[in-house]
A and B are shown apart, each in its own frame.
Chain A
Amino acid sequence: MPFLEVEHVTHQFGGLRAVHDYNLAIEPGHIRGLIGPNGAGKTTIFNLITGIYNPTEGNVRLDGTRINGLAPHRIASMGIGRTFQNLLLWRHMNVLDHVKMAHFSRIRYGLLGAVLGTPRRHREEREIEDKARTLLEMLDIGHLAGQAVTNLPYGAQRRVEMARALATEPKLLLLDEPTAGMNPDELVQIMEIIRRVHRELNLAIFLIEHRMRFVMELCERIQTLVFGEVIAEGTPEEIQNDPKVIEAYLGSGNE
């Protein structure tokens, strides 16, 4: 059974139809891609899955449970993690705090424990810190734990965002243009990291990308979205050779 199912989802902003009759099924552990020109509605689909928007029509199911209409924090704690196209980091908070924050709902000690420094608090703090550091190592940013995120290069900031999303222990990770603004070196590294994360944490990944080579290399199946509608879906080879995709997307001057 698919972990995530999006069924006939349509979303309108006022009179503007941003997404029309969108369908998606992601099996556990699969990597899927979503491509399409700017303004096609790709990020809107992420917002519909994560509960930031509530679909006008259709349903989103997670593990068989309907999740559309639930608050974003509920959906997040059910196992969906996400990064943003334009980095939503908490500037001036350090890297470790970002990852710790992801454990919010799992921290059990109360205010009294915080004030008194009970053994339980110390144990929980240590466990969280250990987990956080392991995760930062996996993303090759362990050495940056104490740094404020504002001081970090762009590529490192993207990894912090990914570490934060992974720290919520999602079963599905949504990546919104993980390579945006990256130089070729950083690009190779982030591809390696996504592969590593996928392998070691055994999660499903759904990513939005502009760089065709990147999507083609990572994803098992790809959807192409144009004006809020899927015009093609298939393996990277099928997508690459689909005349509609070439016309709408590949032919428009992109890589």
Chain B
Amino acid sequence: MSLFLQNLVNALQWGSFYALIALGYSMVYSILMLFNFAHGDIFMVGAYIGVGVAAVLLAASAEGALALPPWAILVLTILLAMVLTSFVGMLVERIGYRPLRGAPRASAAITGLMIGIILETGNLALLGAQRIRFPSLIDTTVYEVAGVFITNTKIIIVVVALLLAAGMHFFVHKTKWGLAMRAMAFDYVAVPLMGVSVNGIAALTFALGSALAAAAGILYALAYPVLDPYMGIVFGWKAFVAAILGGRVSVMGATLAGFLLGFIEIFVAMIFPSTLRDLIAYSIVLLILIVRPHGFFGEPYSARLRL
């Protein structure tokens, strides 16, 4: 029983990363019909920007220029990295996708792949091949509850992920920009007639998705502090699976599917040798998709009108 609960806690943490990355994937895909395959690399960029921001804050703190407690440095690191990474996301949209808006879907899809490679190798060129350590911002405390070990890091990760997902849900369903995003998920032609700039909403979508990926990157680095330029690739693929599984224009769907993926992976690893984890886990996901090709929530992907 305590083994089960321990794995449940681990799955919640693991699913948090998938959920946050899946949200960005899902929004860009639902609203702009783009496979932004660079999104996993935005996660990586976010983690690296987080390293930079944290280093600056820590240095300022050590010099006495900023008297900040550790938790404040962590919060500031997350927020600043989200803002900075959102600019990277907008840049990707502006350079890589906007010029190709009328182009065939396949062209836009390979754009994502190319931007991904550019971000990975750009990082390599800039910082070299050695791995980088994320500074430890807070001391790890371990709590034991009924035989289950829970670290403060795990709690932070899950709580921050849930708060951000809830914030995104609020944004998409309760603000005028969210309304415009949901409308753009159906067409680009009637939306501008409401006085809404399609380019503006596209940039906003990329900015939000990238900010969430950055948050995921830093949370991931809190748990696994060694970063390398290719850390986003497999994460990106899996989060994309979660995004599609969640269903179209559904913040809740993408979040739940992210957590579901985390659960499946962790529990498969609990039962089977960990080398078989992804083989079995993704066979299960494939079966789910065959039964529910439109995902769990939201509008079916087919039968859309695009002019």
Contacts and interface: CB of A to CB of B under 8 A. Distances in A.
A164 B193 CA distance: 10
B174 A104 contact: no
A16 interface: no
B194 A90 contact: no
Interface stretch (B10-18, B88-96, B184-192, B225-233): B184-192
A20 B198 CA distance: 30
Given A81-B193, A84-B190, A93-B183, A114 B175 contact: yes
Contacts of B170: 115
A82 B193 contact: yes
Interface in B155-182: 170-171, 174-177, 179-180, 182
B176 A107 contact: yes
Nearest to B184: A90
Contacts of A164: 190, 194
Given A89-B186, A90-B183, A93-B186, 5 more contacts: A88-B190, A88-B307, A93-B182, A101-B196, A168-B195
B151 interface: no
A100 interface: yes
B3 interface: no
A24 interface: no
A228 to B, nearest CB: 20
Contacts of B136: none
A102 B193 CA distance: 8
A91 B301 CA distance: 12
> For A52, A76, A86, A101, which residue has the most chain B Cβ atoms within 10 angstroms?
A101
Given A93-B182, A97-B179, A88 B305 contact: yes
Contacts of A86: 305
A104 B179 contact: yes
B283 interface: no
B188 to A, nearest CB: 9
A104 B299 contact: no
B182 A76 contact: no
B194 A101 contact: yes
A1 interface: no
Nearest to B193: A76
A105 interface: yes
Instruction: List 6 tightest A-B contacts by C-beta distance, closest first.
Output: A72-B192, A105-B195, A77-B195, A73-B192, A88-B190, A90-B186
Size class of the B contact interface (CB-based, 8 Å): 20 to 34
Contacts of B198: 73
B299 A92 contact: yes
A123 to B, nearest CB: 15
Interface residues of A, number: 31
B197 interface: yes
Contact of A73 (B183, B196, B299): B196
A98 to B, nearest CB: 8
Question: Which among A73, A81, A97 has the greatest number of chain B C-beta atoms within 10 A?
Answer: A73
A73 B194 CA distance: 7
A152 interface: no
A144 B187 CA distance: 22
Interface in A84-131: 84, 86, 88-93, 97, 100-102, 104-105, 107, 111, 114-115
Given A101-B179, A104-B179, A50 B193 contact: yes
Contacts of B175: 111, 114
Nearest to B304: A91
A168 B189 contact: no
Contacts of A107: 176
A114 B177 CA distance: 10
A82 B189 CA distance: 11
B194 A102 contact: yes
A194 to B, nearest CB: 18
Nearest to B179: A101
A67 to B, nearest CB: 13
Nearest to A78: B195
A88 B307 CA distance: 10
Nearest to B178: A114
B193 A104 contact: no
A186 B123 CA distance: 62
17 contacts: A52-B189, A71-B192, A73-B193, A84-B189, A88-B305, A89-B186, A89-B190, A90-B185, A90-B190, A97-B179, A100-B179, A104-B176, A104-B179, A107-B176, A114-B171, A114-B174, A168-B194
Contacts of A102: 194-195
B252 to A, nearest CB: 15
Contact of A168 (B183, B193, B299): B193
B76 to A, nearest CB: 19
Contacts of A97: 179, 182
A77 B200 CA distance: 15
